[in-house]
Amino acid sequence: MGDLNALERQFQERLDAAAARRRAYQEGVDAMDDKAVASWVDAKLLGFTDAYLRVQVSEQYQQTNMVVDPVCGMRINRADAEAAAEYEGRRYYFCVEQCRQKFLSDPDRYATRRNR
Ligand SMILES: [Zn+2]
């Protein structure tokens, strides 16, 4: 996945930049408390790692939850689906209740589109 690789590269670049900044602080700013600088950088890094992980998890979440409304063909997130119906052991998701009604009035027409 290209996006994740780019994110990982970005993440590594930030880590490198943070490490360089930390070294610069420690070498150049003797007056400053090393520990304070270190913990400031660590806090920043933790915040970034946290955001990074959240993005990654939500991307996976988006991907595993994307389904196609068999009636109108719209791609929707399962969690955002307005309506759902079971048919022949499968669960179908719909963008609006009207799509579900249409599906239920002639399920074979829509259900078979993807199966056969
Ligand atoms: Zn629909």
- DSSP string spanning the chain? -HHHHHHHHHHHHHHHHHHHHHHHHHHH-TTS-HHHHHHHHHHHHHHHHHHHHHHHHHHHHHHHHEEE-TTT--EEEGGG-SEEEEETTEEEEESSHHHHHHHHHSHHHHHHHHH-
Distance 2 CA to ligand 1 centre (A): 30
- What is the pLDDT, as a whole number, of residue 30? 57
Distance 61 CA to ligand 1 centre (A): 21
Per-residue pLDDT of the chain (116 residues; tens, 9 = 90+): 557 788 788 878 888 887 887 777 667 655 567 777 778 888 888 888 888 788 777 777 777 788 999 999 999 998 889 999 999 999 999 999 999 999 999 999 998 644 44
- What is the pLDDT, as a whole number, of residue 107? 94
Distance 54 CA to ligand 1 centre (A): 29
Cβ–Cβ < 8 Å for 95, 76:
yes
Distance 93 CA to ligand 1 centre (A): 8
Tokens coding 103: 């599906």
User: Per-residue pLDDT tens for 43-53?
Assistant: 888 888 888 78
Distance 29 CA to ligand 1 centre (A): 61
Tokens coding 4: 């994740």
Distance 36 CA to ligand 1 centre (A): 55
Q: Is residue 93 packed enough to be buried (19+ CB in 10 Å), middle (13-18) or exposed (0-12)?
A: buried
- What is the pLDDT, as a whole number, of residue 32? 61
